[in-house]
Each structure stands twice: as structure tokens, then as C-alpha cells.
């Protein structure tokens, strides 16, 4: 059994609440989190003389993690979209197209990663703003998940679902299990649980919390979510229970 850490983080093109575009702050947050697997949304990389302008490469170099691009918009000298960063061995990478005609292009990185001798399927995605769009995208994700390549699945996502009973959320929970609705947006006064981490089987999730520090409260308009995960069900832990984090949001954890 091996324990690892994953975070999901919409970095808002590395633009903070102070209006500064500062990838160094995001790199600091990733390093300080101690995450083995990082799912990022809204990463904007521009070719140029300024090293930090290519955000994906810069974040990979500064954190020492491998980068897997999930570009949803590609221009002549720039790209934008999702990024997977990891310190673990990548076995396989696939791309799931979630784009809806007439809407912003969307997609999902679908990767198999080796952790402690187990293959962990990690999906990184960012769903659309429109309700019908999200329903289509959730169905596409469920179709991809029907290919049961691995026993362990980790979904790192900004699902943009504002409604607690929204159909995309209900469908994903029916397939992957329930996940705690931790409030991540806006970062200065979080009210909405737009970001979600699912772990399947759910008993492998040891703890789910908002990674909240003075830096995360200003570096982006979202707060990062952090999950501690086991590759096998911990035998010394009792059934999952909901606990309260320091900021009053509900976290999923275990009582010892």
C-alpha cells in the first residue's frame, strides 16, 4: 500500500486577485502542497523570451514534475487548457474531446500512472459554462469511464456546476461515488464548490480538503483542492466520515 497526494487547481492563467500574472506563485503552491499528481485548469502558455510566459514548461521546471499537455485551444505561438503534472511514471496518455460546437473547446487528459506497483487512472478536465454543454460533457466522460482500464480512478476537475443537484454532478457521483462539496470559488471568500476530486473506489480516499494558505487566497480566483489517497484500503482506518476543516468547509476524512 502506498499513500500519495493529488491536487486539482484552476490557476486562472496564473493571474491573481491582485491582477498580477505570476506563475512563480503557482509553482510555490504546488511545491508546498507536496503533491505527487497535479491537475491544472486554465494554463496559458505563450512562446517568447520571458521564461515564465510558457506556463506549462515553467511550472514543470520549477516543480521538478513531468508535464502532460491537454491543450484545448492552440494558436500559432500559444496554447491554453489543462495540464497534468506528476512525479510518478506515466504508462499511457489518452485525450477525450469534450468540445461542443459554438462553445469554448474543452477536453480531458486521461492518463494511466504507476504508483506503488498499482496503475492509477488520472483524468484532468474543465467542464463548460452552459448547463446543456456540461450535460453533454459529463456523458462523454461517462463513456470514457466505461472503459475500465484500471481499478483506481482519480478525477481532478473544475466541473463548473453551480447547482447541488445538477445532472452532471449526479451522473458522475452515480459512477464514481459521492464527493464532498468543498467551497473553492471565489478564493477570497469561497461560496461555490466548482472544483471536485473523485476517487474510486471511495474507500481509498483518506482525506479531502481545501489547500488554503495566504498565497492560495490571492494567486488565483479558485482555491486548490487536495486529496490524500491510498492505493489499497487502509486496514487501520474506520469508515469514512465527514469532518470540519479549519475554515468551516466539509472535508472527507477518516476517524482513527
Per-residue pLDDT band at 66 (split at 50, 70, 90): very high
In tens, the pLDDT along 138-153 reads 999 999 999 988 899 9
Q: Where are the beta strands (DSSP E) in the chain?
A: 3-10, 37-46, 66-74, 78-86, 89-97, 107-115, 118-126, 152-158, 195-200, 205-210, 225-230, 240-244, 250-254
122-135: average pLDDT:
98
- The pairing of strands 78-86 and 37-46 is antiparallel
Closest CA to 125 of 149, 109, 113: 109
Q: Residue 216: enclosing H or E segment and its boundaries?
A: helix 216-219
State the total domains in the chain.
1
Closest CA to 12 of 196, 189, 154, 218: 218
Q: Cell numbers of 12, please?
A: 486562472
Residue 2 CB neighbours (<10 A)? 14
Q: Which residue range(s) make up the domain with 108?
A: 3-254
Cα dist. 143→3, 18, 94, 104, 137 in Å?
29, 40, 14, 21, 10
83-109: average pLDDT:
98
Q: Say what the pLDDT of residue 243 is.
A: 37
- Cβ distance 82 to 70 under 8 Å? yes
Q: How far apart are CA 107 and CA 101, in angstroms?
A: 13
CATH of the domain at 138: 3.60.10.10
Residues 6 or more apart whose CB falls under 8 angstroms from that of 255 comprise 237, 238, 241, 243
Alpha carbons within 13 A on the beta-carbon side of 249: 23
Cα dist. 29→6, 16, 124, 223, 225 in Å?
13, 13, 18, 11, 12
* pLDDT above 80: residue 245: no
Sign of CA dihedral 6, 240, 204, 201: negative
Q: Say what the pLDDT of residue 235 is.
A: 66
Q: Cell numbers of 70, please?
A: 491537454
Average pLDDT value for the chain: 92
Amino acid at each position: 500500500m502506498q499513500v500519495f497526494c493529488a491536487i486539482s487547481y484552476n490557476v486562472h492563467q496564473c493571474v491573481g486577485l491582485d491582477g498580477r500574472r505570476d506563475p512563480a506563485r503557482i509553482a510555490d503552491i504546488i511545491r508546498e502542497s507536496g503533491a505527487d499528481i497535479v491537475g491544472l485548469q486554465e494554463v496559458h502558455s505563450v512562446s517568447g523570451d520571458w521564461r515564465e510566459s510558457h506556463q506549462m514548461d515553467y511550472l514543470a521546471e520549477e516543480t521538478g514534475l513531468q508535464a502532460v499537455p491537454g491543450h484545448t485551444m492552440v494558436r500559432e505561438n500559444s496554447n491554453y487548457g489543462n495540464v497534468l503534472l506528476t512525479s510518478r511514471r506515466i504508462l499511457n496518455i489518452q485525450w477525450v474531446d469534450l468540445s461542443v460546437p459554438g462553445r469554448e473547446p474543452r477536453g480531458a487528459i486521461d492518463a494511466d500512472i504507476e504508483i506503488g506497483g498499482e496503475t492509477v487512472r488520472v483524468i484532468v478536465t474543465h467542464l463548460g459554462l452552459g448547463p446543456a454543454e456540461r450535460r453533454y460533457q459529463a456523458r462523454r466522460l461517462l463513456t470514457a469511464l466505461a472503459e475500465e482500464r484500471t481499478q483506481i480512478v482519480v478525477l481532478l476537475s473544475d466541473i463548473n456546476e453551480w447547482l447541488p443537484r445538477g445532472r452532471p454532478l449526479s451522473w458522475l457521483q452515480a459512477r464514481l461515488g459521492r464527493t464532498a462539496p468543498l467551497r473553492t470559488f471565489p478564493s477570497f471568500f469561497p461560496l461555490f464548490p466548482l472544483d471536485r476530486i473523485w476517487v474510486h473506489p471511495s474507500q481509498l480516499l483518506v482525506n479531502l480538503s481545501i489547500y488554503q494558505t495566504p498565497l492560495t487566497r490571492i494567486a488565483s480566483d479558485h482555491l486548490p483542492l487536495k486529496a490524500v489517497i491510498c492505493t489499497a484500503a487502509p486496514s487501520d482506518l474506520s469508515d469514512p466520515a465527514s469532518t470540519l476543516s479549519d475554515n468551516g468547509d466539509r472535508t472527507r476524512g477518516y476517524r482513527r
